[in-house]
Structure 1
Amino acid sequence: MSHSSLALTIGFAAEAVREEGPRVQCVAPRAATPFVAEALQGAGARPLVTGTSPDALEAAHGAQAVVLDLATLTAEWNDAIVTTTARLAADGTPWVLDLTRLGDLPLHAERVDALLANRPAIVRVNPDEISGFGAPGLDAAIVWGDSAERVTFGGREVKVPLGSAMLAQIPGVRTAVSALMGTCTVVTGRLEAALAGAAWLALASERAEEQSRGPASFRTALVDALWTVRGDEIAEYLNL
């Protein structure tokens, strides 16, 4: 895909999300829940943000995309999540795996391997937490860095602007970016979805900073900016 066609596809993806209002479930840490829900609503999606209870995981099968933050699972391994993601893969439902540690606790290789075997569409990796990440045969877009600053897929790498420094003041931003990526997988391909989700929030954050006086007003302005940023502006922001 050429740079111009990639940009065009990304622009259409954001508008398609607003038009279709996809149902997205995000299994997220409790502290991230409020902002993730607000961000997805700001983008036009219909969110369900949950923990890892059996009922919550069962609800994933009614979603059009699912986002799994591994920090939710590190302290307590839940075998049901492997079964859940296996069913998602079998049904063709796109899902995102965020390999985030819970504090200083290490990630368990067997947990990661079991989930990667169920073919996530997008995998988020922080090189500072996971050195030498590689999954041979994994057909997923890999999003690198805590701020999603670059995306690789099929031998291609695209850099993404970091957005406003004010994002560091909002709990749940990383999970919200993953959720936006997952939302976009409903309407477009893996590379395009990863780039659209990351750039959508980054651009919105820059717009929000211009209108805010501190973290509280920035958060409100950010949700509003997610609502108003156009798809063609997101594509232009990536400078493809």
Structure 2
Amino acid sequence: MEPKNNEEEWGKTAWEFLTQVRTQSPLIQCITNFVSMDLMANTLLSAGASPAMLHSLPEIPHFTPRADALLINLGTLSPSWLPSFNSAAELCHSLGTPWVLDPVAVSASPFRFNACLELLRFKPAVIRGNASEIIALSMPQHSTTDSTKGADSTHESTDAVEAAKLLAQRTGAIVAVTGATDIVTDGNQVVGARNGVALMQKITATGCSVTALIAAFVAVDKSHALDATVSALAVFGVAGELGMKEAKGPASLRMHLIDALYGLDEAALKSHVNITSLC
């Protein structure tokens, strides 16, 4: 796809991706943390995809080849999960199946950082994290001076543009930095998506869930992973904006966000998309 010049073109692209997901119902294998499983599965279902929360190592050789995309999320990392992470990612790499990495709290410990480095060997199609995570992962080694606050970012997304470009160039992945402005880059082109509402940050696992949605969008067109990533971020953000109109707080926003994603139509999406090329 050619670079988009305006929001109308991006709106059309985002709607095309959402329509394909609804039509094809891609099977998305999610090896993810216990906190995110519920909202992530419901996000995928509401968008039209088929979630599978499967992480058992003996099942991976049999199940992963059936998946249309894989998501690996390091949120509640433990040593027992590492073989499943690596086996599934390696299998996807060998089969040409796209997979997406969510390096949750990557700088929290050398163990977590090294687990991410190991996974990068298997060439994720997309890496999605907050600004602190992307800055940390762009470094050649674990930093003990990083100011990451658990899974929360202590940086603005715009602080991580150069780190995201560097990481994309080094890995060949599309890199997405989520925040007030979502930044997406292939190492050269940089796109900003400004959909969503601040209250979404008060709902556990919204970041994890949008990463799963990215996997679903990439699954239907892996050759245009940047457009798929931007589109998924915009769709999820627009659903948050529409859900906020009915919400009274984080709990009700969670419910209304899922409803809005399920019922999102072409006119609403195209009229709310806020995407611009930054360079």
Q: Pick from 52, 62, 65 the counterpart of residue 61 of structure 1.
A: 65
Residue number in structure 2 paired with 1:131: 136
CA displacement at 1:10 relative to structure 2: 2.8
Secondary structure of 2:124's counterpart equals coil
CA displacement at 1:137 relative to structure 2: 4.2
Whole-angstrom distance in 2 between the partners of 1:31 and 1:80 = 18
Whole-angstrom distance in 2 between the partners of 1:3 and 1:146 = 21
CA displacement at 1:84 relative to structure 2: 1.8
Is the Cα–Cα contact under 8 Å of residues 33 and 76 in structure 2 kept in the other structure? yes
Q: Does 1:202 align with 2:203?
A: no
Is the Cα–Cα contact under 8 Å of residues 14 and 234 in structure 2 kept in the other structure? no
Whole-angstrom distance in 2 between the partners of 1:53 and 1:95 = 17
**Residue ranges of structure 1 left out of the alignment (5+ in a row):** none
User: Greater relative contact order: 1 or 2 (C-alpha under 8 angstroms, separation 6 or more)?
Assistant: 1
Secondary structure of 2:35's counterpart equals helix
Question: Which letter maps to 2:239?
Answer: A
CA shift in 2, pair 1:117/1:40, >3 Å: same
CA shift in 2, pair 1:21/1:111, >3 Å: same
Secondary structure of 1:14's counterpart equals helix
Is the Cα–Cα contact under 8 Å of residues 196 and 234 in structure 1 kept in the other structure? no
Indicate the larger mover: 95-104 or 164-173.
95-104
Indicate the larger mover: 113-122 or 173-182.
113-122
Cα deviation 1:179-211 (Å, max 9, x = unaligned) = 000000112221011111111111100100101
Question: Which letter maps to 1:150?
Answer: I
Whole-angstrom distance in 2 between the partners of 1:31 and 1:84 = 21
CA shift in 2, pair 1:119/1:9, >3 Å: same
Whole-angstrom distance in 2 between the partners of 1:232 and 1:105 = 45
- Structure 1 vs Structure 2 CA RMSD: 2.5
Question: Which letter maps to 2:136?
Answer: S
Cα deviation 1:127-184 (Å, max 9, x = unaligned) = 3244371445422110114567111114011111151222123221111000000000
* TM-score w.r.t. length of structure 2: 0.76
Whole-angstrom distance in 1 between the partners of 2:254 and 2:204 = 10
Q: Pick from 18, 23, 33 the counterpart of residue 22 of structure 2.
A: 18
Whole-angstrom distance in 2 between the partners of 1:76 and 1:109 = 16
